[in-house]
Amino acid sequence: MKKLLIIAILATVVFGAKPVKIDDKFKDSTKCKACHLHIVNEWEQSWHAKSHYENNEYFRATTEYVSKKTRKSLSGVQVECAACHNPRISVTSTGMEHEILSVMGFGKNSEAKKALESDVISEGINCVVCHNIGVIHSDKDDKVRGINRVEWTKSGVMVGPFDDAMSPYHKVEHRDYMDKDPNKLCFVCHANDRSVSDFVFVNMEKEYVEGGKLCVDCHMGSKKHGIAATLRMDNKKPKAREVRGHAFPGAHTDTMWEGALDLELQLKQKEIFISILNSNPHNIPSGFGSREIVAELVFKKKDKVLETKTLSLTTYYKDKRGKATIPHLAVSSSDDLSVPANRKKVLKTPTQKGADRVEVTLYYRLVNSEVHSLLKLGEPIWSQKFFIASKSISLN
């Protein structure tokens, strides 16, 4: 009887968005290198290539923390997060039956566990994620993200920005969201981040200001004269194209931060006014909850340091019991202190007695100290301070 019960449970354990099987010759980026070596080499340095939980400490620690606090199986949490982190996963959702099996000790052999360990998703956001999307359902409810917001092309059909692209290895189709409206593709995942309690802790799509830079202008760079593929299709030469980079620099990239915000200082009646100007089309910090701008003030007298002070722009989160938590378990948060898109945030602080100058330096951190401690993050990047800007002003 017990065996029959287990079989019945296994028959209904997984459900969700319909995945499309990927042929072996397209499932990993090594197959793309023959024609797109330079693009694949760039992508390999990106954080898209690190989106699988085994390659991303923050993601891995978050899923483990959520599993522990909600008492949901780790594999169940990982499948939910895979909607954006690993959208080519073959199991797209789990249910109560999966949780029962996990408690009974059968989770290690479940279809969900096998899907999570499959080499099809081990590269994270790779070529056959973005370039296999055939339809984006932007009309769906905002809660529907990632794999549940798209339809895949058939395996072996790649989509891109060029009308005349061709390949002997795969079919090629043009899509507008590869050139005319690339934000639409980015916002499949980079928008409307919600906690398990349905609390929206970041919504980059909502805060984005239309009419300015596109996502790709900063995160893929300006178009440059080059080639998209080495296939000899233009008078026996690779066809010249206007192409963008595929390293996808972002918040984890130190070179993105220098000069990303402007800094202005004013002295008014023994108070220092620090204006932080954001010319970007989205808020900063943004992207994920708990990111932080740090303003470090060093008060000096004749080059001797009298005092240092730190001001922070970040968000803190509370769970349903009012305790500190990570964004993905939050039911509420502190005030949003981010610098809005195309606007400025002004901080003020009193001067230090005896000081004749103050130096102000802006930094960016991927995780504030509270979440860093809760998740017990160990890799240096999660405590690193990325330099943004620095200025000084006389206090005389």
SS3 sequence, the chain?
CHHHHHHHHHHCCECCCCCCCCCHHHCCHHHCHHHHHHHHHHHHCCCHHHCCHHHCHHHHHHHHHHHHHHCCCHHHHHHHHHHHHCCCCCCCCECHHHHHHHHHCCHHHCHHHHHHCCCCCCCCCCHHHHCCEEEECCCCCCCCCHHHHEEECCCCEEEECCCCCCCCCCEEEECHHHCCCHHHHHCCCCCCEECCCCCEEECHHHHCCCCCCCHHHHHCCCCEEEEEEEEEEECCEEEEEEECCCCCCCCCCHHHCCCCCEEEEEEECCEEEEEEEECCCCCECCCCCCCEEEEEEEEEECCEEEEEEEEEECCCEECCCCCEECHHHCCEECCCCCECCCEEEEEEEECCCCCCEEEEEEEEECCCHHHHHHHCCCCHHHCCCEEEEEEEEECC
Q: Are residues 227 and 332 in the same domain?
A: no
Q: Are residues 62 and 209 in the same domain?
A: yes
Residue that terminates a domain, selected from 185, 213, 243: 243
Q: Are residues 314 and 236 in the same domain?
A: no
Tell me whether residue 340 is in a domain. Answer: yes
Q: Are residues 386 and 299 in the same domain?
A: yes
pTM of the model: 0.91
Lowest mean pLDDT among 18-27, 82-91, 185-194: 18-27
Euclidean distance between CA atoms 226 and 246, whole angstroms? 13
Q: What is the tally of structural domains in the chain?
A: 2
pLDDT per residue over 275-284, tens digit each?
Answer: 999 999 999 9
pLDDT of residue 15: 40
Residue that terminates a domain, selected from 199, 215, 243: 243
Q: What percent of the chain has pLDDT over 70?
A: 95
pLDDT of 308 strictly over 90: yes
Question: Which residues neighbour 48 within 8 Å (Cβ) at sequence distance 6 or greater?
Answer: 124, 125, 126, 248
Q: Are strands 157-160 and 171-174 parallel, antiparallel or unpaired?
A: parallel
Q: Are residues 212 and 335 in the same domain?
A: no
Tell me whether residue 248 is in a domain. Answer: no
Where residue 307 falls among pLDDT bands split at 50, 70, 90? very high
pLDDT of residue 241: 93
Kindly state the tokens that stand for 225. Answer: 């004269």
pLDDT of residue 21: 86
How many other C-beta atoms lie within 10 A of the C-beta of residue 37? 12
pLDDT per residue over 332-378, tens digit each?
Answer: 999 999 999 999 999 999 999 999 999 999 999 999 999 999 999 99
Tell me whether residue 135 is in a domain. Answer: yes
pLDDT per residue over 22-42, tens digit each?
Answer: 998 898 999 999 999 999 999
Euclidean distance between CA atoms 34 and 41, whole angstroms? 12
Residue with tokens 């780790």: 74
Tell me whether residue 213 is in a domain. Answer: yes
Q: Are residues 306 and 170 in the same domain?
A: no
pLDDT of residue 260: 97
pLDDT per residue over 100-145, tens digit each?
Answer: 778 777 667 788 889 999 999 999 999 999 999 999 999 998 889 9
Q: Are residues 37 and 138 in the same domain?
A: yes
Q: Are residues 30 and 73 in the same domain?
A: yes
Q: Long-range contacts for 52-55 (Cβ within 8 Å, ≥24 apart)?
A: 52/85, 52/86, 52/121, 52/122, 52/123, 52/124, 53/78, 53/81, 53/85, 53/116, 54/122, 55/124
Tell me whether residue 93 is in a domain. Answer: yes
Q: Are residues 53 and 185 in the same domain?
A: yes
**CA terminus-to-terminus distance, the chain:** 86
pLDDT of 13 strictly over 50: no
Q: Are residues 69 and 201 in the same domain?
A: yes
Mean pLDDT of all residues in the chain?
91
Give the CATH number of the domain where residue 281 resides.
Answer: 2.60.40.10
Kindly state the tokens that stand for 45. Answer: 């340095």
Residue that terminates a domain, selected from 223, 243, 263: 243
Q: Are residues 195 and 331 in the same domain?
A: no
pLDDT per residue over 211-245, tens digit each?
Answer: 879 999 999 999 999 999 998 877 889 999 999 99
pLDDT of residue 301: 95
Euclidean distance between CA atoms 141 and 15, whole angstroms? 19
Lowest mean pLDDT among 4-8, 250-254, 307-311, 351-355: 4-8
pLDDT of 94 strictly over 70: yes
Where residue 17 falls among pLDDT bands split at 50, 70, 90? low
| Residue 269 belongs to domain spanning | 254-394
Q: Among 213, 217, 219, 61, which Cα is nearest to 125's?
A: 219
Mean pLDDT of 86-107: 83
Q: Among 338, 337, 220, 339, which Cα is nearest to 279's?
A: 339
pLDDT of 69 strictly over 60: yes
Where residue 92 falls among pLDDT bands split at 50, 70, 90? confident
Q: Are residues 218 and 338 in the same domain?
A: no
Q: What percent of the chain has pLDDT over 90?
A: 80
In Å, how far are 164, 247, 324 from 184, measured between CA atoms? 22, 19, 34
Lowest mean pLDDT among 65-79, 90-104, 180-194, 250-264: 90-104
Tell me whether residue 249 is in a domain. Answer: no
pLDDT of 8 strictly over 70: no
